[in-house]
Structure 1
C-alpha cells in the first residue's frame, strides 16, 4: 500500500526540480522578450504608430543582436558585465530621449534638442504647479526608478540570453540565423504593420538626437548674424519712438491666447462673445482697436521665446537661440523705450524669484513678480495671482496720479496650463489685497478633475482666455488715462490637446488706444478694425513687429 502511494506521489526533489525548470523557463522568456521588445520601443514612440499597437514591437533589433554576439565572444566575465551595463544604459537613454521628444512635440510643438535640456526644469515646474510639490516629487522618483529598472533589466537580459547561446548549440544557430536575416532584410523589408523587420530603433533615436543638436549648433551662426544686423542699432534715442512720446505703452501677453481661441469649435463662441462685449465697452470709453495675426516661434509653452522674438526682432525658436540672444547687446523694445525716456516695468506674476535677464538684457527699471505686490488671496495653480489683481496693482502703482510715461510688459498668466482652478472677475473696487478671491478655488473644478477629459480641458482653456481678456477690459474701463496705448497679443497656441494636431503657430494681436494719431501712424499696416482679426487679416512673423513699430513711430531724419 505504501509502495503504491509512493509511486503515485512525486518526491520533494522531483517537485523542486520541476519548479526550478519552470522558473528558469520563465526567466529565459522574460529575458528574450526584453531584448526583442524594449529596443524596438523608441521606434514605436518616434513614429507614433498607435494604430499598429503591440505589432510595432515585432522585429529584430540590431542592438540586441550585437550585444549578445559580443557577450558570447568576450571571455572575461567582468568585461561582459560592463558591456551589458553599457547596452542597458544606451537603450534606456534612447527610450528616454524619444519619450521626452514625444512629450515636447505634443506639448510645445517642437522636437527636443539636447542643448535645451534646461527646459526640463521648466516642465517640472509646471507639473509642480499642477499637482503639487509632493505629488510631483513622487512622479519624478517613480520615473527615475523606472529608468534604473529598465537599464538593469536589459543588462540582466543580455547576460542571460548570452549564457544560453554560449552553452547551447541551438542558441548559437538561432543567433547566427537572425544575424543573416537582419543583414538580408536591411531596412527595406517591412512587416504588415509598416515597421521594418531589421530594426535599429535605439541607435536611430540617439543618432537623431545628436544630428538635431548638430543642426542647432550650426544654426547659431545664423542667429548671430541676425542679432548683429540691426537697422535700428544706431538710430538716436531722441528719434526712436518719437511718435509715442508722452504715451503710456503696455505690451500685454495673454498666455496661450492662440488662433484656436477664435476659431476652435466649442471655444471660439465664448471668447468671441467676450471680444464683442469688449469692443462695445471700449468704444463707449473712447477707445479704438485694430487687430491682425502674428506667427509665434513657439507652441504650447516656452513663452519667453515669443517675448524675446517680439521685443528684439530676432527669431528665437529654441532655448539655445534665446540664450544667445540675451547674452548679446541686441536692442529690445524695453531698452529702446528706456533710452528714450520712459520708465520701464516688467510685471510677471508667475515669477517667485528675481529675473536677472530682466535687468541685464531687457534693462527694465522695475521688476514686479509674485513677491511684494501685496497679494493676500489664494493660489490658482500655476497662475497663483489672478490677472485682474495684477492689472489693478499695476494701475494703482504705476499709472495713478501724475507720473512719467511708462512702458510695461505685463504677462497675463491666468490662461496658463493647466487652466484650473479658474478665478472669476470681481468688481474693480473690491479687489483690494486679493482676499476677495478666497472662496473661488473651491468653486472651480481642480486640475486633476479637468484633465480626465479632453473636452473639459478645452472648455476650461476657453474660459481661462475669457477671464484674461475680461480682466484686460476691466483694466481699460477703470483706468482714466487718455495717453494709454495697449498692445495685447498671445504668446503661442495652447498644447495639442486644445489646438489639435498640426495647428498653426498664429496668435491674435490688437492695438488699443484713444488717440487717433496712433492709428494714423499704422494705417499702412492694413490691420482689421476691432479686437478680433479675421481670415483676411495680415499675418506677420512675430520677429517683424519690432521693426514695424520702430518704423511707424520713429522720427524720420
Structure 2
C-alpha cells in the first residue's frame, strides 16, 4: 500500500508563492527597513499562476529555472543596493558598478583574510544555491493537472488587477489596503534599465570630452603652470576626511580644537594656510576616482569613466607639472601589487608599499602609518631632486575601520625605516572584527582623522618652514578624498571635503582667497564649494598664463 499526500501540490503552490513573494520584496529592504513597505509583491502570484496553468514539460522546467534565476538576481541586486547606500549614500548603478565586483571581493579578502573571506563567500553562495534549489522544487511541484485551474486563473487575474490598480493610484492617494500591494521587483528592474540608458548617454558625452580637440585639456602634453615653475608642490589626500567631520557631532568636538591648534602651529612656523570646500566625485569610498577627478579636471564618478579616462590621450595635472619642469612623483602606500595605472598617468617615479622600505609593524588595515609616508616625501622629493618636484601621495591611517589610532612621533628624525613604530606592534590586529562594530568605528573615526592631520601638518612645519634647500618655496595641498560612509558619519552628509593649502610664501595663496577659500584651517560654507573636477582649472587660473575656460562640468556627476 502506497501512502500519498494528495494535497501536497497545493502546499507546494502556497510555499512557492510565499517564498517567491519574500524574495521579490527584497528591493524594498535597503530603504524601507523591515518589515517592507509592501506585504505582497504582485509579481509573485502572477508568476505562480501562469506556471500553474502550464502542463508538465521541458519548457515549463526551463521557465521555472528562469524564475529562480530572476528571483536570486533581484535578491543580489537588493543586497548590492543596500551596501551601496550604506557605504556611498547612493543607489546601485548596475551599468557601472558591475565592474566593482572584483574590487569588492579583494576588499573582503584584505579585511577578513583569505580563510574567512572564502568561508563567508562560500556560505553566501551555498545559501543562495539552497534557496534557489528549494524554490525550483516548489515550482515544479504543481501544475495544471494537480492544481485547480480556477485557482491558477484567480491568481493571474487578481495579480493583474492589482498591478493595474497600484499603477493607477501611484500618482495619487491610494486606499489604505492598496498600499500593501506593490511590484518592487519590476520597479527595481525598470529603475536599473532607465538608469542604464541615462548612464550610457552620459558615458558617450564623457567619451567625447576625452577626445574633443577643442577641449582645453584634451592634448596629451598638458599645460604649464608658470606661476609654480620654481616651487615644490605636494598634493596629499587624507582618507575619509570630509567636512562632516568638522561640522557634525560628536566628531567636531575633537577636530575643531585640533584645527585651531594646527592653525597657530603653522603660523608659528612661518607658514600661511587657506582652506576651501571641494565637492568630491564619490561618497564613502572609491578614492582613486577622486584622485582621477582632481588630476584630470573631469568628473570621474565611476570605474567605467576611470578606465575610459586613464586609457585616453586626455592630459592630467601630472602632465601639467611635467610641462612646468617638475619631477613628478607618486607615493602610494596602499598599492600592494603592480600598478599599471601609475604608468599610464606618466609619473617619473612611483613608490608603492613594496618599494617604500617600511620595516615597522602593520597598522591594522593600513600597511604603514601616515607619518612614515609623509617622511618619505622628504626622502624621495625634497632632498633628492635639484629642481622642483610635484609629489602626490595618498595616506592610509584614517581608512576604515580606523584602528589602531596611534600618536605622532615627536622627533621626526627617528622615523627612519619605521621600526620606531614597534611600540604599537599588535595594536589593531582585530581590525577585521571592527567592521561588525559600527559604534567602535564611530568612536575611532575622529581620533584617526586627528592623527592624519597632525602627521600632515607636522611634516609641513618641519620641512616647509624655511628648511627647503636652496631657498626654494613650496605649495602643499591637503584635502580629503571623500566623506566617510553615511553609516559612520550620519545620513545625507553630502560629498564636500576640506582642502587646506599651505605655503611658506603668502603670495602663492592669494589666488585661492580670490576664489572662495578663506584664511585658516576651517572651510567656508557650502555656498563656496567648488567641484573637485574644477580644481585643475582653478590652479590654471591662479598659476597659468592662459585661461583654459569651461573645462570642469559641474552637473554631470551622477554616473
- The TM-score, its normalising length taken from structure 1, stands at 0.88
- Per the TM alignment, residue 63 of structure 1 is displaced from its structure 2 partner at its CA by 4.4
Task: Name the structure 2 match of 1:278.
Answer: 262
Cα deviations by residue, 1:220-253 (Å, 9 ceiling, x for unpaired):
122124333532556997x721111111101111
- Asked whether the equivalents of residues 528 and 537 of structure 1 are also in contact (C-alpha less than 8 Å), the reply is no
- Asked whether the equivalents of residues 64 and 158 of structure 1 are also in contact (C-alpha less than 8 Å), the reply is no
- Per the TM alignment, residue 196 of structure 1 is displaced from its structure 2 partner at its CA by 4.7
Counterpart-to-counterpart distance in 2, 1:371 and 1:504: 35
Task: Name the structure 1 match of 2:288.
Answer: 304
- Per the TM alignment, residue 406 of structure 1 is displaced from its structure 2 partner at its CA by 0.7
Residues 124 and 382 of structure 1, relative CA distance in 2, 3 Å threshold: farther
Counterpart-to-counterpart distance in 1, 2:339 and 2:451: 26
SS of the residue corresponding to residue 125 of structure 1 reads: helix
1:510 matched to 2:500? The reply is: yes
Cα deviations by residue, 1:385-406 (Å, 9 ceiling, x for unpaired):
1111111122122212662211
Cα deviations by residue, 1:461-511 (Å, 9 ceiling, x for unpaired):
111111111111221122122522101111111101122122211100011
Task: Name the structure 2 match of 1:134.
Answer: 115
Counterpart-to-counterpart distance in 2, 1:69 and 1:194: 23
- Per the TM alignment, residue 358 of structure 1 is displaced from its structure 2 partner at its CA by 1.6
- Asked whether the equivalents of residues 39 and 61 of structure 1 are also in contact (C-alpha less than 8 Å), the reply is no
SS of the residue corresponding to residue 438 of structure 1 reads: helix
Task: Name the structure 2 match of 1:382.
Answer: 365
SS of the residue corresponding to residue 166 of structure 1 reads: coil
Counterpart-to-counterpart distance in 2, 1:402 and 1:446: 40
Counterpart-to-counterpart distance in 2, 1:407 and 1:97: 42
Counterpart-to-counterpart distance in 2, 1:123 and 1:81: 34
Counterpart-to-counterpart distance in 1, 2:85 and 2:362: 29
Counterpart-to-counterpart distance in 2, 1:275 and 1:533: 11
Aligned with residue 348 of structure 2, among 359, 362, 365 = 365
Task: Name the structure 2 match of 1:174.
Answer: 151
Cα deviations by residue, 1:207-226 (Å, 9 ceiling, x for unpaired):
32232222211111221243
- Asked whether the equivalents of residues 363 and 369 of structure 2 are also in contact (C-alpha less than 8 Å), the reply is yes
1:348 matched to 2:332? The reply is: yes
- Asked whether the equivalents of residues 67 and 83 of structure 1 are also in contact (C-alpha less than 8 Å), the reply is no
- Per the TM alignment, residue 114 of structure 1 is displaced from its structure 2 partner at its CA by 2.6
- Asked whether the equivalents of residues 338 and 344 of structure 1 are also in contact (C-alpha less than 8 Å), the reply is yes
1:69 matched to 2:83? The reply is: no
Task: Name the structure 1 match of 2:69.
Answer: 89
Map 1:430-445; keep pairs closer than 5 Å: 430-440=414-424, 442-444=426-428
Aligned with residue 527 of structure 1, among 512, 517, 527 = 517
Counterpart-to-counterpart distance in 1, 2:546 and 2:189: 53
SS of the residue corresponding to residue 424 of structure 1 reads: coil
Cα deviations by residue, 1:176-221 (Å, 9 ceiling, x for unpaired):
2222222222224768487452x43333323322322222111112
Map 1:252-271; keep pairs closer than 5 Å: 252-271=236-255
- Asked whether the equivalents of residues 109 and 298 of structure 1 are also in contact (C-alpha less than 8 Å), the reply is no
Give the aligned CA root-mean-square deviation in angstroms.
2.7
Cα deviations by residue, 1:283-320 (Å, 9 ceiling, x for unpaired):
11111001110111100001111111111111122222
Counterpart-to-counterpart distance in 2, 1:22 and 1:183: 26
Task: Name the structure 2 match of 1:9.
Answer: none
Counterpart-to-counterpart distance in 1, 2:32 and 2:546: 58
Task: Name the structure 1 match of 2:554.
Answer: none
Task: Name the structure 2 match of 1:417.
Answer: 400
Cα deviations by residue, 1:328-358 (Å, 9 ceiling, x for unpaired):
1112111110122110011110101122122
1:34 matched to 2:13? The reply is: no
- Per the TM alignment, residue 56 of structure 1 is displaced from its structure 2 partner at its CA by 4.3
Stretch of structure 1 that moved more, 410-419 or 427-436: 427-436
Counterpart-to-counterpart distance in 1, 2:377 and 2:509: 25
Counterpart-to-counterpart distance in 1, 2:405 and 2:6: 60
- The TM-score, its normalising length taken from structure 2, stands at 0.87
Task: Name the structure 1 match of 2:271.
Answer: 287
- Per the TM alignment, residue 139 of structure 1 is displaced from its structure 2 partner at its CA by 1.3
- Asked whether the equivalents of residues 269 and 461 of structure 2 are also in contact (C-alpha less than 8 Å), the reply is yes
Task: Name the structure 2 match of 1:101.
Answer: 81
SS of the residue corresponding to residue 520 of structure 1 reads: helix
- Asked whether the equivalents of residues 39 and 64 of structure 1 are also in contact (C-alpha less than 8 Å), the reply is no
Task: Name the structure 1 match of 2:557.
Answer: none
Between the two proteins, the alignment pairs up a number of residues equal to: 530
Cα deviations by residue, 1:52-84 (Å, 9 ceiling, x for unpaired):
x336462153245235423532442x3222211
Map 1:477-516; keep pairs closer than 5 Å: 477-479=461-463, 480-481=467-468, 482-516=472-506
Unaligned runs of 5+ in 2: 548-559
Counterpart-to-counterpart distance in 2, 1:195 and 1:155: 30
Residues 134 and 371 of structure 1, relative CA distance in 2, 3 Å threshold: same
- Per the TM alignment, residue 153 of structure 1 is displaced from its structure 2 partner at its CA by 2.1
- Per the TM alignment, residue 41 of structure 1 is displaced from its structure 2 partner at its CA by 2.3
SS of the residue corresponding to residue 489 of structure 1 reads: strand
1:122 matched to 2:103? The reply is: yes
Residues 402 and 102 of structure 1, relative CA distance in 2, 3 Å threshold: closer
Counterpart-to-counterpart distance in 1, 2:285 and 2:104: 9
Aligned with residue 205 of structure 1, among 188, 191, 206 = 188
Residues 474 and 523 of structure 1, relative CA distance in 2, 3 Å threshold: closer
Counterpart-to-counterpart distance in 2, 1:505 and 1:325: 22
Counterpart-to-counterpart distance in 2, 1:352 and 1:252: 19
Task: Name the structure 1 match of 2:551.
Answer: none
Residues 126 and 192 of structure 1, relative CA distance in 2, 3 Å threshold: farther
1:241 matched to 2:225? The reply is: yes
Counterpart-to-counterpart distance in 2, 1:87 and 1:181: 20
